[in-house]
Structures are given as C-alpha cells and as structure tokens.
Amino acid sequence: MLPRPLVGLGPSIRSNVRPILPIKKRAFPMLLPGPSLVASRAFSLWPSQSNATPSPLPIETLPSPPPPPPRPPTMSELSMPTSLPDPTLWEPLSTLLVSLPATLHLTWPLFLPLLTLLIRSSSMIPLQLWQRRQMRRFATVIRPRLKGVHESLALNLRDSSRRKGLSYEQYEQEYKKASKEATRQMYRSYGFHPRLTMYIGPLINIPLFIFISLILRDACQRALLVLPLSPAHLPLPSSATLTPEILSNLQDLATSSFLWCPSLCLPDSTMFVPLMVGLATLVNTEVSAKLRRAVMRAGKEVDRIEGRIAGNAVVGLRMGQVGALGTSGLTAAEKRRITVINSRREGNDGTRGLTTQTRTTNGPKEQVQEVVEAEDEEEPRSSRIITNAMRCASVAFIPIAAMAPVAVCLYWLTSNCLTLLTNLTFAYYDRTRERKERLDKILRR
C-alpha cells in the first residue's frame, strides 16, 4: 500500500520508496506516553523563577527629573496663623455677642448703638428714677417732719440746759448728738438711705461699663486673629469654641466698616472718634457736677434750717442764764433778736435804720468771680476733688480711646451721649416743675 502522494508515479520512483509500516502501540510502549505523562512533562517544561538565569546585561535606571524651584509665598500664606487662637476668659461671652447681629439680621454699626441703648436703659434709667423718687420723697415728706422734730428738740434741750446751768458749748454738743439721733431714726422710719441713694448709681454703672468694654475688646481681638482663616483650616471635628458659624460671625465683625474707618476692630487713625468720646465725657461731667451742686444746695438748706433752730434755742438759753426769760415762751423782743441774728448769719441786714449798708457795683469779671466763689462755698471739698478728677479722666480718655478699637469707642460714645441726654431731660423737667410750684405759691398768696 503506497501513500496517497506516491500514487500515479512511475515504477522507477515507486521502487525506490520504502513503504511506511503502521506503528503499533504495543511495539513502542515508551514512545507513546499516556495523557498524564504528557501533561506532567508539558508542565515541567515551563520555566520557573528559580531556574531562570539572570540577564547578563543590567537594566539601566532612568535619572529622576530635577525638583521645581520654590514658589514665593503669597500674602495670605504669610498672614496665615500657625495655630488657632488660644481661649480667653471672655471667650464664651464674646462668642455670644458676635452671634447676635447675624441672628437679628442687623449690621454691626447699627447693632452696637442699639445694644448700648438696651443695656443703659435697663440699668441706668431705673436707678435714676429711683434716686429721683427718693430725693422727691425727702424734699416733700421727710424734710418738713424733720424740721418740726428739730424745733421741738432744740426747745426741749434749751429748757433742760437752762435748768442744769450748762454752757453754750455743752448745749451745742448735746444738740448735735440729739439731732443726729433724731435724723437717723427719721430716716429709718421712712426707709431712706442718703449714702445708698447717692452711690448706688456709680457702683452699678461703672462695673457694667467696664464689663461690656472688655467683652467687645476681646471679640475684636479674636476677629483679627481668625480673619485669614477659612473653614478648611479648622480641626475635625471642630471644637465648640470655634465652629464655622462662629468663624463667619467673627469675620463679619472684622470686615465691617464705620464711616471712614475700614474695620471696627482697628483704632481710628483720624482721631475724630476718640476726640468725640473725650468731649462727650467732659460735657457729661460738667452737667453731672451742676446737678450734684443742686442736690447739695438742697442739703445745705436743711442744715441751715437746723442751724436756725439751734440759734433760736441758744438765744433763749443765753437770755435764760441772765434771768431775762421767766417762761419757756418767746417774747416779741426775743423774736426780734432771733430775726436779727439769723439775718446777720445769712449776710443780710435784718434791722431798719440801725445800720446803713453800702453797695458797690462790680464789673462783669467781679460778678463772675463772686458766682464762682459762691458755688465753691456751696460745694464741699470732697465733691470738688471728685469733679476735678472726672475732668482729668475725661482728658485722659482721649489717648485711651485712640488705642481702642472703633467698636469699643462707638460703645463709649453712645453711652456718654445717652447719659448726657438723660441728665438734660431730667434737669429740664425739674426746672419746669420748680417754676410751676413757684407760680402756684404766688397765686395762693
């Protein structure tokens, strides 16, 4: 049997070709392996990592590109704080304060005067009304009764001193002790406290004024520190003292402007706002001193009444010692003498035809000097010291306000203007009421 490619060839060619014998499987058992041997030998021929020979030529590493040149920092990066601001003592209150304008939908230049008006109206005006009510009660109720008590006390002490044969100095000491005790009992019965009425206003308003100023100053300092920050610079989770909302409120305060001032957290470079603060403080000091002199003038009137009563009793005492008085009542001559003594004490001439008084006309400068001397005599030394100290403090307030933020100066200016307006309103009301009372007395006569 010839293979298919040899079919059709010539006899010579076919004779030289050897026939291909069929291969029997059992004749060559080792040449025909089974499927398992073929698979194992095929897997064994795969190259392994252990048998792989290293490449004779090393792989050359590419050189790394040079680093880019450093970029110059921007202004925001230069002003960026390295850490968050440290917590302060006033931080909780200043945080509450800076959250109010955003809650009320108000701007800072409008919010600060309204806040000042609210605080001063809730603290200063009620105290002033209470003081005025106490002084009015003293003038209309306590003073008339006190006058009657002192009159009866002076007459009783005159009689007892006459019987004991006491001297004028001893009588004067007895009268002072008795009058002070009677005055104290009268004040206690009506619940009137002169010192508390005079000092309760400054004791409450001055600490409150300093307290609000410190809170505003702390808020301005924190606003300047967190101005370059963004919410991305806050720690995660954000602390309770500096959240994105608080950061936004502080930045609103730092970026708010007032008239020509670019920021409320910076001092006024033009010095106009500090000068206005000092001027308002000085005017308020002068008005308060004038009102205080009016109150002291009313107190002087009470002391003058007590002095007249004591003088009347002293006249009776001295006349009783020489035997001119036989009874406790006052005669017409004694009353005449009392009138003359009282008029001489007041600087007026109470007699007619006995002495002549020469009057000299002074110029305007001398008249002004007399008025100033009269006011100085009415105002005690301690009150003058307080007034002069307040005047010096008003002038010293100008450089202090020049270093303070505009927000703090705006609070000071609004507070002083409100106090001045309140004092002027009360003074005008008192003057109008006094004129009305005088007119009523004239019509009754």
Enclosing domain of residue 315:
91-347+383-444
Q: How many domains does the chain have?
A: 1
Angle at 127 between CA 117 and CA 295, to 5 degrees: 120
Q: pLDDT by residue (tens digit) across 384-436?
A: 888 888 889 889 889 999 999 999 999 999 999 998 898 888 888 888 888 88
Could you tell me what percent of the chain has a pLDDT over 70? 60
226, 250 Cβ separation under 8 angstroms: yes
> What is residue 61's predicted lDDT score, i.e. its pLDDT?
60
The pLDDT of 95-121, averaged and rounded, is 91
373 is a domain residue: no
Residue with more model confidence, 281 or 334: 281
Q: pLDDT by residue (tens digit) across 181-215?
A: 888 888 888 888 888 887 888 888 889 999 999 99
DSSP conformational letter for 226: S
> What is residue 331's predicted lDDT score, i.e. its pLDDT?
54
> What is residue 277's predicted lDDT score, i.e. its pLDDT?
92
14 is a domain residue: no
60 is a domain residue: no
Query: For residues 117 and 211, what is the distance between their CA atoms, to the nearest angstrom?
Result: 16
215 is a domain residue: yes
Query: For residues 265 and 243, what is the distance between their CA atoms, to the nearest angstrom?
Result: 20
> What is residue 70's predicted lDDT score, i.e. its pLDDT?
73
398 is a domain residue: yes
The pLDDT of 74-100, averaged and rounded, is 73
pTM, two decimal places: 0.62
Query: For residues 411 and 438, what is the distance between their CA atoms, to the nearest angstrom?
Result: 41
317 is a domain residue: yes
The residues, any chain, with a CB within 8 Å of residue 121's CB and separated by 6 or more, are 418
> What is residue 360's predicted lDDT score, i.e. its pLDDT?
45
400 is a domain residue: yes
> What is residue 62's predicted lDDT score, i.e. its pLDDT?
61
419 is a domain residue: yes
Residue with more model confidence, 18 or 188: 188
